[in-house]
Amino acid sequence: MKLILKQRIRQIIITYRIYIVIVLVLAAISLFVIWYISYFRANMGGLIITDESYDSNNIDSHIDIDNNNVEEEKAKEEATKQDALVNTKPKAPSSSNSSSQSEVSQSDSGVSPEPEPEPEPESESFSAFVAFYADNQSDSDDDDVRHQNVVNRILASGANPVIHAGDLMEDGTQNSFDRFLNVAGILLGSRTFYGALGNNDRLFGDSTTPSPIFLDYFNFPNNEKWYSVNSGNLHIVVLDSAFSASDPNQLSWLESDLQSAASQSRITAVVFHHPTFFSTIQSYLINYGVDFVVCGHIHTYTKTDVSGIEIFTLPGGTAIGHATSSIYNDYATINVYDQNGSLIESSRIDER
């Protein structure tokens, strides 16, 4: 009997020792887990997995970021945005000709709604970002490749609207216009597009008549040969130097339009094809404070100042390039690029 009692007591003691060991082990594990979590949190920037069913494909739903990291990320993001505003051009939203983002001038036959303001750096009073090019006229695959490169660069820049200074066709035929559309179709479908008539945009075989293909396809304001539109703080006047250079109706309309625009204190640009046409309209442009002129035709880049008006002729043909312009409240910047997309010259134009 005594032997049985001793054995029972010994078993109880052994059992309690086992329980004590288990408790001590669990306590040690708990202390280690607490220490490990604290160490992991301190060294991993506050990231902890909160769901035991960790899924590497859905990690975002299992990460908790502490407030300090959130504030730090916000600060980095804001700094990145400010750098982008200073060093890059803002992308404008896409628009087609049927829903123009630019505002047709009051002096034209119709007025479309004011565009939504684009994102702008407040200190700079940014208003619009536009592109210009000219003389892509194509009769070969090599010409199409050069034109495509320019279109791609304009699309990548985000400029909108895009203004063409003439000779978008080689000879005014449907085949010539189809070549233009095959390359520039994506540009016309995603940007607001305006164009001036060039001498090659003629009725085939008749150098005195504009191509009906040009006039039938596009739906530009006024009579489509000369018209004006507004984009932000930029007033754009498009003229016909190829077929209406001496038309008194165009000159009368121009004076009236510029007089109206001068009272609105906008940056004013005039676009036409032939640089020599400037001498015909010079007095109007000087008297009503036009700020710059964009033209083409000679296929070579030049910049000339006449009575404070900057005249840009764009590189074209086999050396086709393009220009972009950032418009602000009281000045504009213009960057001109060559056929390789390299910057030729950057200019600042203060409002006259």
How do residues 191-238 score in pLDDT, each as one tens digit? 999 999 999 999 998 999 999 999 999 999 999 999 999 999 999 999
Residues 6+ apart with CB under 8 A from 194: 102, 161, 162, 163, 164, 220, 229, 236, 238, 271
pLDDT, residue 32, reads: 77
Instruction: Return the structure tokens found at 120.
Output: 């702008």
* Phi then psi dihedrals of residue 266, to 5 deg: -100, 160
User: Residue 112: pLDDT above 80?
Assistant: no
**CB burial class (10 A; 0-12, 13-18, 19+) of residue 32?**
exposed
CA atoms of 320 and 99, how far apart (whole Å): 29
State the distance between the two ends of the chain, measured CA to CA, in whole angstroms. 121
Helix (H, G, I), strand (E, B) or coil at 231: strand
Please report which residue ranges of the chain form alpha helices under DSSP H: 2-43, 67-87, 141-157, 174-190, 212-217, 248-262, 278-287
Q: What pTM was estimated for this model as a whole?
A: 0.67
pLDDT, residue 236, reads: 98
Condensed to tens digits (0 to 9), the pLDDT of residues 286-330 reads 999 999 999 999 999 999 999 999 999 999 999 999 999 999 999
User: Residue 40: pLDDT above 60?
Assistant: no
CA atoms of 227 and 252, how far apart (whole Å): 12
Radius of gyration of the chain (CA): 34
Residue range 347-352: mean pLDDT, rounded: 94
CA atoms of 241 and 24, how far apart (whole Å): 97
pLDDT, residue 181, reads: 97
